[in-house]
Chain A
């Protein structure tokens, strides 16, 4: 599903040039659950942003479902992302003035799904995530675990092939963290490819494979 060839990412300012990724080569197959680990500043989030088409690499090739997407323009990246990739963030990134239901509905709207179908799919995913009773609440009215469940519901409501999770349990307690990881595992078991960035060995244990990064390079691959 994903194939990276010598991906480099360099951030430049007037004064400094920082190499975040120094030439990444990796592959993720359909249905895999891959954990990316490494110390702070090693390039994990940068790699995830490139995988999620939120950013372009400076150099290299990124093949997603056999299409080279590394050099797409902003608009093409957006259209490619729609319905294909779901995101889960450490800080949830829910929209404060939208209700739980509206937050989950958002990607469906951008995908052009008719209103009746949207309603059905949102209700279904809320039931699955056990947050139906919170449908009309605003994010500030929810606990961290509930917010992350909403975020996961929003990520998967369009039934994407790929879910990218950036430290999904970073802001959660152990119990809630475990629940979130089980949800992601369940999704993976149902066929969704998951790529997760994490610091946590415990969370990484849910993955089928771990990629270790150090200073912008893949240093070791471990097959579990």
Chain B
């Protein structure tokens, strides 16, 4: 160990950097693994998760799979004998203001099937009961909420204050794990709503199959089983009428069912796989991303291990004499080998312990915590901590074994005589390892470039509307009643170009209201945005056919290019489908959903709700404001907030920038990009540390050679050229291999995006220049010291 400390003191920088590299690698491995475990364990914390399935449906065969279904069909599915239990949740949840004293607290709230409630998910009842006999019985709340509001989980029978009302707590359930789709929300019974409504496709269904059921076989015949049940139920409901039908009419009746199911499709997706399915907006997992993260963990350890091996290999020639002196004095070679391996294991474990400190500090840093959807605290991942320690030991053994055998492989008498730094075998091995490091660096730099390009593309590509010039705000009920006055006031402000109202904020969520209209060949399903007549011009959405809405329009559509191309029968100022609203124009496609799904190519219709939808009331409660391109947007935003507060009830009104909202929408994408960026930068730093350490040792070993060359007339520049030339050859060789591999990895990653950047050719020479510059700068900085040293001192080196 004393010789280890001697070398550590002699090569302080290299030792410190090597320890730093290992520490960073262990910390990064831990952090990325928490995310991997989070992704892999999503929904698996729910009891019997492997028997739980989500119902997915297609309203039309050409529509994408969706989680929405109608309630009666879902209830039929729940009656199938293979189903042990099932439940139904309406599509929409909401945020509920619950008062704690006088302070309103925003809590998630949702409705649920009263009789089944959360039972299929193995919800544990801590107090009261979790199923309803009547909706009026109250609500069920999670244990965390019960503790927060009542300081106990035994809160059944107590009351929550919601606005002016009090709501009785009927039961308390234990919180579900964080990484599952279930919200720890306040649930109320959905009662009988839409009990028999086959046209309201706004419900999500979940089925728990019996343990003995062959799930794969059941899934394969699921649609047919639903159809058979549907036929049986409908026949039972209409038995009197059916009995009166003649054979021909019965055949027609049967055909109607066939036609109905001919347009529909159903399937069951295991709950353990929904996270990666992307069918629902909450399915935020991405399998490509998941696999990349797993590879990131492997690569980061590999890079660190190579680095450590490089380091121990590079310093081992310096230990030959010391170790073999011990052999001459009587020490066993096996004991010396064990000691050498123990030293590297101790170094790796020291780095592991340091990494725990780093992880602890990082977990206290909000920016890092935000980078991962998982909890990164050490106490919640003790098995992972143990595995990381085991890996540290393994890396220590791996990095120590070869050098231990190398150092003890010489005849002691011979070993005492000379220098072993430049044995051809050792030099070749180190060259190979440097080449591997440079190879990995080049792949990473190119990959970082592709990440950056895609990130830039997401931020700056054309969305189909002028996201940078727009502000929006949710109107209170009071302001909603003064829309014309609000518009008039805002239009008087310098810098405000237009004002419009809509039902939702474009780009605020991955999915929006879906409408299905028509039947037969003209059955259509599309995303529908209720808006006012000024909306498209305010947003900067371009009209490509027909005309924009005008102030006289009511009950009419403007569809997007994708819809126009899909529905060939559409004519301007004619009904979209039989009995539906007329289409007055066609607009350009927009990007308004996830970047992983090609929503821009999905059919969209903007609609002005008029007489036909008067029962819906005024749904346009989003204020959209278009600002002049060169206006002071921050100042205008404050002015609009002040004006809205003044015109409303005096409470604060939030006005937001639309481009910031879009960034929130792509949070998962950016989170991943930032994760991979972080990983790549870490790998790059570790790799460069490796190159730095190796060049340091290399120049140390070549000091004498450099001295001799100088004695015979070489200048410093010629020495640097000599040292660099080898690295230039290594870099160029590695580039030839790394460029296609990096291109392939980047290309594969980009495939997960619906809209993606192209991989520009200039990325490759830039990456080559960057890696060459950093590597050669490192070599030159190290080499300069040796090159400017007095050769008298160098040639004395033995």
Which residues from chain A sit less than 8 Å from chain B, CB to CB?
49, 52, 54-55, 74-75, 78-79, 81-83, 87, 89, 91, 93-97, 106-107, 110-111, 154
CA A106 – CA B705 in complex, angstroms? Answer: 12
Map CB proximity to A onto B687-710 as digits: 1 under 8 Å, 0 otherwise: 000000000000000001101111
Tell which of A54, A75, A97, A111 has the most Cβ of chain B within 10 Å.
Answer: A54
Q: Tell whether, in the assembled complex, residue B791 and residue A54 are in contact, meaning their CB atoms are under 8 Å apart.
A: yes
CA A54 – CA B789 in complex, angstroms? Answer: 11
With both beta carbons as reference points, the residue of chain A lying nearest to B795 in the complex is identified as: A93
Nearest Cβ in chain A — how far from B2, in angstroms?
24
The 9 A-B pairs of least Cβ separation, nearest first, read A110-B713, A82-B713, A107-B712, A54-B792, A93-B708, A49-B792, A95-B705, A110-B714, A93-B795
Chain B contacts with A in 663-711, Cβ cutoff 8 A: 704-705, 707-711
Knowing that A54-B792, A96-B705, A110-B712 are A-B contacts, what are 16 other residue pairs whose CB atoms are under 8 Å apart, sorted by A's residue number?
Answer: A52-B711, A54-B790, A54-B791, A55-B790, A55-B792, A74-B716, A74-B788, A75-B715, A79-B715, A81-B711, A93-B795, A94-B708, A97-B422, A106-B709, A107-B713, A110-B715
With both beta carbons as reference points, the residue of chain A lying nearest to B704 in the complex is identified as: A93
Nearest Cβ in chain B — how far from A100, in angstroms?
14
Residues in A neighbouring B713, C-beta threshold 8 A: 78-79, 81-83, 107, 110-111
Chain A CB within 8 A of B151 CB = no
Chain A CB within 8 A of B718 CB = yes
With both beta carbons as reference points, the residue of chain B lying nearest to A89 in the complex is identified as: B795
Nearest Cβ in chain A — how far from B718, in angstroms?
7
Interface size of B by CB at 8 A reads: 22
Q: Tell whether, in the assembled complex, residue B792 and residue A87 are in contact, meaning their CB atoms are under 8 Å apart.
A: no
Nearest Cβ in chain B — how far from A177, in angstroms?
20
Residues in B neighbouring A107, C-beta threshold 8 A: 712-713
- Could you pull out 18 A-B pairs where Cβ atoms are within 8 angstroms? A54-B791, A74-B716, A75-B716, A78-B710, A89-B795, A93-B704, A94-B708, A95-B708, A96-B705, A97-B422, A97-B424, A97-B705, A106-B709, A106-B712, A107-B712, A110-B712, A110-B714, A110-B718
Say which residue of B422, B712, B716, B788 sits within 8 Å of A87 (CB atoms).
B712
Nearest Cβ in chain B — how far from A217, in angstroms?
21
Residues in A neighbouring B798, C-beta threshold 8 A: 91
Say which residue of A49, A78, A89, A91 sits within 8 Å of B715 (CB atoms).
A78
Chain B contacts with A in 401-437, Cβ cutoff 8 A: 422, 424, 427
Nearest Cβ in chain B — how far from A2, in angstroms?
18
Residues in A neighbouring B795, C-beta threshold 8 A: 89, 93
Map CB proximity to A onto B783-794 as digits: 1 under 8 Å, 0 otherwise: 000001011100
Nearest Cβ in chain A — how far from B539, in angstroms?
68
Which residues from chain B sit less than 8 Å from chain A, CB to CB?
422, 424, 427, 704-705, 707-716, 718, 788, 790-792, 795, 798
Nearest Cβ in chain B — how far from A69, in angstroms?
15
With both beta carbons as reference points, the residue of chain A lying nearest to B717 in the complex is identified as: A75
Q: Tell whether, in the assembled complex, residue A54 and residue B711 are in contact, meaning their CB atoms are under 8 Å apart.
A: yes
With both beta carbons as reference points, the residue of chain A lying nearest to B705 in the complex is identified as: A95
With both beta carbons as reference points, the residue of chain B lying nearest to A78 in the complex is identified as: B715
CA A89 – CA B712 in complex, angstroms? Answer: 12
Q: Tell whether, in the assembled complex, residue B792 and residue A78 are in contact, meaning their CB atoms are under 8 Å apart.
A: no
Nearest Cβ in chain B — how far from A175, in angstroms?
22
CA A87 – CA B790 in complex, angstroms? Answer: 16
Tell which of B424, B427, B710, B713 has the most Cβ of chain A within 10 Å.
Answer: B713
Residues in B neighbouring A111, C-beta threshold 8 A: 713
With both beta carbons as reference points, the residue of chain A lying nearest to B789 in the complex is identified as: A74
Tell which of B708, B714, B788 has the most Cβ of chain A within 10 Å.
Answer: B708
Residues in A neighbouring B712, C-beta threshold 8 A: 87, 106-107, 110, 154
With both beta carbons as reference points, the residue of chain A lying nearest to B423 in the complex is identified as: A96
With both beta carbons as reference points, the residue of chain A lying nearest to B707 in the complex is identified as: A93
With both beta carbons as reference points, the residue of chain A lying nearest to B787 in the complex is identified as: A74
Residues in B neighbouring A81, C-beta threshold 8 A: 711, 713
With both beta carbons as reference points, the residue of chain A lying nearest to B715 in the complex is identified as: A78
Q: A54-B790, A96-B422, A97-B422 are in contact. Are A87 and B711 (CB under 8 A)?
A: yes
Nearest Cβ in chain A — how far from B361, in angstroms?
38
Residues in B neighbouring A106, C-beta threshold 8 A: 709, 712
Residues in A neighbouring B791, C-beta threshold 8 A: 54
Residues in B neighbouring A95, C-beta threshold 8 A: 705, 708-709
Nearest Cβ in chain A — how far from B645, in angstroms?
72
Nearest Cβ in chain B — how far from A213, in angstroms?
17
CA A97 – CA B788 in complex, angstroms? Answer: 22
Residues in B neighbouring A83, C-beta threshold 8 A: 713
With both beta carbons as reference points, the residue of chain B lying nearest to A157 in the complex is identified as: B712
CA A55 – CA B708 in complex, angstroms? Answer: 14
Residues in B neighbouring A97, C-beta threshold 8 A: 422, 424, 427, 705
Tell which of A79, A87, A93 has the most Cβ of chain B within 10 Å.
Answer: A93
CA A89 – CA B791 in complex, angstroms? Answer: 13
Nearest Cβ in chain A — how far from B348, in angstroms?
33
Residues in A neighbouring B790, C-beta threshold 8 A: 54-55
CA A83 – CA B705 in complex, angstroms? Answer: 19
Tell which of B427, B715, B788, B798 has the most Cβ of chain A within 10 Å.
Answer: B715
Nearest Cβ in chain A — how far from B155, in angstroms?
75
Residues in A neighbouring B427, C-beta threshold 8 A: 97
Nearest Cβ in chain B — how far from A224, in angstroms?
30
With both beta carbons as reference points, the residue of chain B lying nearest to A151 in the complex is identified as: B708
Residues in A neighbouring B422, C-beta threshold 8 A: 96-97
Nearest Cβ in chain A — how far from B136, in angstroms?
90
Residues in B neighbouring A52, C-beta threshold 8 A: 711
Nearest Cβ in chain A — how far from B427, in angstroms?
8
